[in-house]
Structures are given as C-alpha cells and as structure tokens.
Structure 1
Amino acid sequence: MARSWLIYSMKNNSLFCFCCKLFSKRNIHLTISGMANWKHASTHLTSHENSPEHLNCMKAWKELAVRLRSGQTIDKQEEALLEAERVRWRAVLTRLTAIVQSLAVRNLALRGHTETLFTPSNGNFLKEVELMAKFDPIMKDHLNRVKRGTASHNSYLGHHVQNELIDLLSSKIISDIVDDIKQAKFFSIILDCTPDISHIEQLSVVIRVVSLMEKPHIREHFMGFLKAEESTGQHLASMILTRLEELGIPFDDCRGQSYDNRANMKGKNKGVQARLLEKNPRALFVPSSSQRWSILKNHVSITLKMWAETRWESKVKSVEPTRYHGAAVREALIEVRDNTKDPAIKAEAQSLSEEVGLYASASARLFGLQEVRYIFMEIPEPFKHTALA
C-alpha cells in the first residue's frame, strides 16, 4: 500500500511523516530528526500509521487539501496572490531563458564589466533584457520592480542565474543528442588531445552518426572536453569509456574510432586504439594521414573541397581541382598508391586515379558545358554565366 504521507530527505538520509510534521504537536522521530533505522523500518512505519496522532494529522491534511482545491481556505486571497506571483515569475524566467539561448546560438558573451542595468558596459545579456523591456510589458514591469528595490534580492539577472540557465540548456541539448545517437544506434568517435591555455591536457570528444531524426544524413555531435590528468593510452581510453557510460551510450555499438597521429592515441599496443579494440573489436580504427595530405599539397596549390547545399558558389569551388588540376591530382593519387603499404588504400588510390584521369583527358569544353552545367542546372540564372565562364 502506497504511503502518500511518507517523504525522504536526501540531506539527512532519513524518513519523515509529512502530515505529522505539519500538524502534530508531539516530538517524534518522524517529525524531528527523521527515521533512519532501515532494518526495522517496516515495523516502525506500520506502528506509526496506525497511531491516533497520525490518523488525526492525516484527517487535517486531507481536509486542507480539499479546501485548497475548492478555494475555501481563510487565506484564499493570499493564495490567489501567490498564484499570480508564480505565473509572473514563470513568464520572466521564460524570457530570460530565451535570451540566454539566443546569445548562445550566436556564440556571444553574456556578461560585461558590470552587472548593473542601464550602464554602457553591462554585457549582452542585460542589454537584451533592457531592449525586451521596451516592448514587452512583463519584462518592463520586472525591471520597474528591480529599480524600485522590490526585487533587489531575487531579480534573476545576476551571473549565478545565467550560469544555471546555461547548465539547464546544456543538459537538455546533451539529452537530445544522446537520443539522436541511440536512435541511430551505431556511431563512430573522433578524439583529439591538446593542452589549453592553462597547460591542462584536454580531450575533445566528437560522435559521428547517421542521424535518423528527420531524414538520414551524417551528423557530428561535439560532446565537450574531458580534462586528462594523464596522457597515457590507458587513462585516455578509460576517460572516454567512462564518459560514454555516463551518457548511457553503449560502447558495443561503436563502429569506428579516429585520432591524430600521436603514439598514445593510435599506438597498436598500448594506445587508445588498441585498448578500445580490446573492448570492442568492431570499433575499427580510421587513421588521419598527414603524410598523404602532404603529398597532395606537393602536387596542387589548392585543396579539394565538398559543396554545400545552401551555397551555390561552393559548387564552383568543388569542381575547380578536377577541372584545372586534374592531371596533378592524378599524379598525387599515383604517388599515394606507390608509397602506401595498406592494400585497401592502394586499391582505392588506383581506382580514384583512373576516375580522375578520365576527367583530365576529357576536353575542357566538354567538361565545362556538360558536367558543370549538370551540377549547376538548378542555380539562378545570374550565377550560371559565372559558373560556366
């Protein structure tokens, strides 16, 4: 049977009787210090709930609840004022949360040199509050209360509340990201370790998934920095596994891992790669090759780019290397093929060199009027002449 009157205090690690604490005039453990005798808890609670004192307090509590719901208490007017105040504060906090979210999305600092309203250097957060107060009656009323001193101790405009709002928004975002990762099920991790300005080694954690929330597309989620007290492969691997466990993301679903070329990260014996492979052999290591990038830069002076769906000019940039430097790109791929010892990379470099060679051997006129026109067939008319020039 559920005991609605029973409450638990995490601070005291004890049980209390709510109704007796409100109405009883006797000093008992369940109203003063709480009950923490867990071995005999069932016996004590049964005895207490059958006592006349407790039954009278339960009756008074239930009668009060009925009067509160029907608005028949002697402090009905005070209750109405309390409800109006609750609604007002909820409206104020909703607006302050929206301001914090707006500034965070634009990566703007919240605070300035002072925390005083209507001063030149009080920061973006208070400036947004001042601007909103010009058009919003709720925020205008709130600032008037602050200026009159009626809300001086709980204005909710200070840096502590700002930090708390940021933490709450961060927790919500992390929760949504974790839901996205769990829905995708399989993921890859991208890690990088570097010292910050205070010379503390930090491990950045990025999780890459095929997101299924709207339509399938690749998405990378930055999960934050982890402070690394040690830079050994064992410690870094333990950190990432602990972080995934805290987020509720099973490492058994990891299908890829990628790092820089430091020995403690990619080492085959004691690096992060090896230790994570021991936990999950399917978390295949994908190296990041600075050597192959160096080979490409030796042959061409521009980089290979992907296009963005929202920027038409990026599509022009993406075809420039194969349009004007096709032969040089092919030579770079051949050099990678000849220098690598990895059969998979050798085969891929050979295949890509053959495909690029087909573009390089084609006439510039054919490539310009057919391939580029096909890529840009949906761009607005003014941009077509630029793209095909």
Structure 2
Amino acid sequence: MGQQVLKTIVKELKSAKYYSISVDSTPDLSHVDQLTFIVRYVKDGQSIERFLQFLPMDEHNAQYIADTILNFLESLDIPIKDCRGQSYDNASNMSGKYSDVQSRIKEVCEFAIYVPCAAHSLNLVGVQAVECVTEAVTFFQFVQKNFLGFNKTMENFDRAFRCE
C-alpha cells in the first residue's frame, strides 16, 4: 500500500513539474537516524506538501547525504533539474557555504535555491533567548538530563512512560 501511495504522489509531482525538497534527520524508536524526505509542489494553484519516505542514514557527512538525496530522486525518476528549492536545518553539514548538502545540490541544479528552515531558525532564537535566564537554563538542563537518563535503554524509556 505504501508503494502505491508513493507512486501516486510521484505521478502528481511529475505533472506539476517543478518542486522543492525539505530533508531532515530524525531518530526512530530504536534510536537509528533516518532522513525524512518531503517535497513541495503546486497543483491547481494550491501548494502541496507531501512526505515521501524515511531514508536510512549511515553517515552524517554532506557528501553522503547529498548522494542519498540525489539517488533517491533518481530511483523515483524525479529529475533533479526540476528542483527549484531546498530546505534543511542550520547544521553546517547541511547549510554551510562550500562543502555542505545545499551547495552540492546546487552544483547539480543551479535553480535549487536554498532556504533555511524557519522552524530550526526559530528554535535557535528560542535557545539564545532562554540562555539569558539562569533559571530557564537550569530547568532545561534538568529536563534534558532526565530524558537522557530514561533514554539510555529502551527498557528504561518504556518503563518511564508506563510509570513503573
């Protein structure tokens, strides 16, 4: 069923011709990093955003991620030359200036304009704002330490959410 949905989205995307991509990494429940691959395109004058797939992520370097993106698009027969936008988080391997993912994609498709992810940028603003308040820093450090402690093993993670 998932493959049929993917085929339908790809068909719709191809009929729109031009698209943009948004890629980010996220750990799954077993703490394995994956790339989330999202496309945006216009259909009947409406902006459409579709999740395509989680892609395995064995490395975090820019070349590996750019190759993964390009290979995925090629596997779906989606021409990279029709990409008009790309968006990633603000990590240097994704959004730097010279040897990052966005510049590598731009080398292949000069029209793929890079737009930093607004949500990640807003998060950075929030982090900077909170760092000015000692009590807030202490609170979020406490929350993070507790999360990391519970998260050490899946058993502890499960136990914490079952309230044992």
TM over 0.5: yes
Instruction: Tell me the alpha carbon deviations over residues 266-322 of structure 1, each in whole angstroms, 9 at most, x when there is no partner.
Output: 121111111101111110000124259837xx7xxxxxxxxxxxxxxxxxxxxxxxx
> What is the aligned residue count?
125
Partner residue of 2:114 out of 257, 282, 285: 285
Contact 1:194/1:201 (<8 A) preserved: yes
Q: Which has the higher contact order (CA 8 A, sep 6+)?
A: 2
Aligned mates of 1:221, 1:291 — CA distance in 2 = 22
Q: State the shift of 1:170 in Å.
A: 1.7
1:221 Cα deviation (Å)? 1.1
User: Does structure 1 residue 171 correspond to structure 2 residue 3?
Assistant: yes
Q: RMSD of the alignment, in Å?
A: 1.8
Is 1:207 paired with 2:33?
Answer: no
How far 1:194 moved relative to its partner? 2.1
Query: 1:245 is matched with which residue?
Result: 74
Q: Distance in 2 between matches of 1:265 and 1:184?
A: 26
Structure 2 residue 49 is matched with structure 1 residue 220: yes
CA radius of gyration, larger in: 1
> Mind listing any 5+ residue stretches in structure 1 that lack a counterpart?
1-168, 299-389
CA distance in 2 between partners of 1:190 and 1:210 (Å): 15
Q: Which one of 14, 26, 42 corresponds to residue 182 of structure 1? A: 14
- Do 1:201 and 1:231's aligned partners in 2 also have CA atoms closer than 8 Å? no
SS at match of 1:207: strand
Structure 2 length-normalised TM? 0.71
Provide, for residues 183-203 of structure 1, a one-character-per-residue CA deviation record: whole Å limited to 9, x for no partner: 100000001112223232100
Tell me the residue number matched to 2:62: 233
The CA deviation string for residues 74-116 of structure 1, in whole angstroms up to 9 with x for no partner, is: xxxxxxxxxxxxxxxxxxxxxxxxxxxxxxxxxxxxxxxxxxx
Identity level (%): 42
Amino acid corresponding to residue 273 of structure 1 in structure 2 = Q
Post-superposition offset of 1:262: 1.0
**CA distance in structure 1 between the aligned counterparts of 2:32 and 2:91, rounded to whole angstroms:** 17
In 2: Cα distance, 1:198 partner to 1:264 partner: 24
Q: Give the SS at the match of 1:206.
A: strand
TM-score by length of 1: 0.31
Instruction: Name whichever structure is richer in strand by fraction.
Output: 2
State the match for 1:294 in structure 2. Answer: 125
Give the Cα separation in 2 of the matches to 1:293 and 1:238: 27
Q: Secondary structure at the match of 1:205?
A: strand
Partner of 1:256: 85
Q: Deviations over 1:132-187 (max 9, x none)?
A: xxxxxxxxxxxxxxxxxxxxxxxxxxxxxxxxxxxxx2222111111111110000
Structure 2: tracts of 5 or more residues without a match? 130-164
Partner of 2:135: none
